[in-house]
Structure 1
Amino acid sequence: MLTLHLDEQAIEQHFIEELKKRLSHIEQRRTLWDMKELCRQTCMSENTIKEKFFYDERFPKRKIGGKWYFPAGEAENFLLMWLEEQPIN
């Protein structure tokens, strides 16, 4: 006879962690962000973005036609670096 005891809380925690990883991966699937997506990703308005970091030489951007595009991975890396550089109030 075989008896199994499952830790339901541990299983649920593992499931949630895996779900978060997969959702994060899905969000990362975009190669480029436009200004609307950059605003969404940063929770900032376009004016705030332009005031705070848009003109930083290190911020990756390309203007194609009349529209700005940002490589998603590079933009995210820059934003994390930029945030670390900001003073804590």
Structure 2
Amino acid sequence: MNLFSINEDLMREMMQQAVQEQAEKIAQEKIFWTVKELEEYANLCIDTMKKEFFYDPDFPKFKIGATWRFPATKVKAYLDTWSQEQIMLQRVSYV
């Protein structure tokens, strides 16, 4: 006995809509961030970032004229690693 039925056309339409929305979201993501966008993403001011990791040679950045640009995907990966390292350092200092 079948207690419910699935409207396959409606399900297909909903899936296509979800895929389209995700594709649009990805297309709107920025490739490079400005200092202000980096500050917003990291939730840190540039002065704090300069003290903590900005001058690390592994931190992804480049300068065009007088302005810094940051490749978004590489910065996200760097900050993931950096934040995990900070967590581990804090755990070690508590021991």
Question: Following superposition of structure 1 onto structure 2, how do residues 37-56 of structure 1 map, counting pairs within 5 Å?
Answer: 37-56=37-56
Name 1:12's counterpart in structure 2: none
TM-score (normalizing by structure 1):
0.69
- The amino acid that maps onto 2:80 is L
Segments of 5+ residues of structure 1 without an aligned counterpart are 7-17
The whole-number CA distance in structure 1 between the counterparts of 2:63 and 2:28 is 21
TM-score (normalizing by structure 2):
0.65
Q: Does 2:77 correspond to 1:88?
A: no
Segments of 5+ residues of structure 2 without an aligned counterpart are 7-17
Q: Deviations over 1:49-82 (max 9, x none)?
A: 1111100010010000110000000011011011
- The amino acid that maps onto 1:53 is F
Q: What is the root-mean-square deviation in Å for CA atoms of aligned residues?
A: 3.0
Identity of aligned residues (%): 36
Contact 1:28 1:73 in 2 (8 A): no
Name 2:69's counterpart in structure 1: 69
Contact 1:34 1:68 in 2 (8 A): yes
Question: Following superposition of structure 1 onto structure 2, how do residues 12-23 of structure 1 map, counting pairs within 5 Å?
Answer: 22=22
Question: Computing the radius of gyration over CA atoms, which structure comes out larger, 1 or 2?
Answer: 2
